Amino acid sequence: MDDWLAHLTAAGGRQLNDHDWHFPEGSHRLTEGNGLIPLTHFRILECEGPDAARFLQGQTSANIDHADGAFGPLTAFCTPKGRMIANAEILKVSAERYWLLLDASLAGPLATQLGKYAPFYKMTLRHREDLAIIGMVGEPESWAEADLPDLPRLDWHMAQQDDVLALRHPASRSRFVLILPTSQAAARWDTLRRHADPADTALWRRADIGAGVAWLTAEHSDAFLPQMINWEALGGISFRKGCYTGQEVVARAHFRGQVKRRLQIATLEGASVPAIGDEIRSAEDKRVGEIFQATAGDDTKHCDILAVINTSVDGESALFVGDRKLTLRDLPYPLERLDPERIVGD
């Protein structure tokens, strides 16, 4: 991993913190051209062994049978009280091997939680520090000469070619995740660089915000039911599978309509990026929500926001973070249950 990060630095990249990258001469917008982004804020946690599928089936909100090597279902790992420890995408990479793609800050805590039960199964858990994760933005045709797997045409689907795995994630423009050994990452980056401009991690986060996709970090763990980040609207909960940790609470919240807070996309005036957890207040100075994720907008006048807000708040309400106005935007998907069974194999 160190050689891979050193290569990014030599290529002009600068780490702003443990995970985010900035390229001074790179692309700062995703409206045209191809973008190439180091996704070092993601990690892979691997579950491997004869009992890996059975183990995951009892721990995750997804039906593990849907992870079939072509579709990578979203999932949540919950406490017995239904609060999410982490959320992830499940990738089946071989008959007895599954990768969990999740925020880097939660790979350790989730491994610790799952490790309490793993000794009862014929399987192992390990951090795949030997894997690099790269984001690509641009239409599949524009990458045709880059010697990649056939890039998926549908969101949350995957394709493999030798040691390289490609995923498609939702966005206003085509967006792909490339997972490959770190030993190959520098050479692959240089090849892809012929077809794309390097871009900041903030652009990837902005695309997640625009897609209404909320990845938990360590700051969010054990704070939200899956429905509070619209996870069932993205197909991240199977209500037709058997039991898993937290299933009773998650199902009760859905069928009894007990979810009183929901994820929303918003724009915050001003260029200063608020912190996760900053309060959102009404014109009457009542706390009505909190910042889930924020990044600088594509200009110097606003920030793009994911916020978890009380369902009693409507789009016409005046909302503020401090003295800055927050304006709600439309979600790109209907706020209703999407059964993953409907999208498997589409």
Predicted confidence (pLDDT) per residue in 219-278, tens digit: 999 999 999 999 999 999 999 988 999 999 999 999 998 899 999 999 999 999 999 999
Task: Name which residue leads in pLDDT, 141 or 135.
Answer: 135
**Pairwise CA distance, residues 59 & 88, whole Å:** 12
Report how far apart the first and last C-alpha atoms of the chain are (Å, whole number).
Answer: 35
**Cβ neighbours of 2 (radius 10 Å):** 7
What is the DSSP-derived secondary structure letter of residue 29? -
Whether the per-residue pLDDT at 27 is higher than 60: the answer is: no
The pLDDT mean for the chain works out to: 93
pLDDT tens-digit series, residues 33-66: 789 999 999 999 999 999 999 999 999 999 999 9
**Pairwise CA distance, residues 192 & 160, whole Å:** 17
pLDDT tens-digit series, residues 169-219: 999 899 999 999 999 999 999 999 998 999 999 999 999 999 999 999 999
Q: What is the DSSP string of 245-302?
A: TTHHHHHHHHHTT---EEEEEEEEESSSPPPTT-EEEETT--EEEEEEEEEE-SSSSE
pLDDT tens-digit series, residues 321-331: 999 999 999 99
Q: What is the CA radius of gyration of the chain?
A: 20
* 161 phi/psi in degrees, rounded to 5: -145, 110
**Could you give the strand order of the β-sheet that contains 84-94, starting from the edge strand earlier in sequence?**
74-78, 84-94, 97-103, 42-48, 124-127
Check if the beta carbon of residue 96 is closer than 8 Å to that of residue 48. Answer: yes
**Pairwise CA distance, residues 125 & 136, whole Å:** 28
Give the model's pLDDT for residue 148. Answer: 92
What is the DSSP-derived secondary structure letter of residue 60? B
Whether the per-residue pLDDT at 31 is higher than 70: the answer is: no
Give the model's pLDDT for residue 324. Answer: 97
**Pairwise CA distance, residues 89 & 137, whole Å:** 19
Structural tokens at position 142: 């524009």
Cα 127 to Cα 69, 75, 102, 179, 328: the distances in Å are: 20, 18, 11, 14, 38
Give the model's pLDDT for residue 233. Answer: 97
Q: Looking at 129-133, 287-291, 315-319, which range is the least confident one?
A: 315-319
Check if the beta carbon of residue 224 is closer than 8 Å to that of residue 237. Answer: no
Rounded to two decimals, the pTM is 0.96
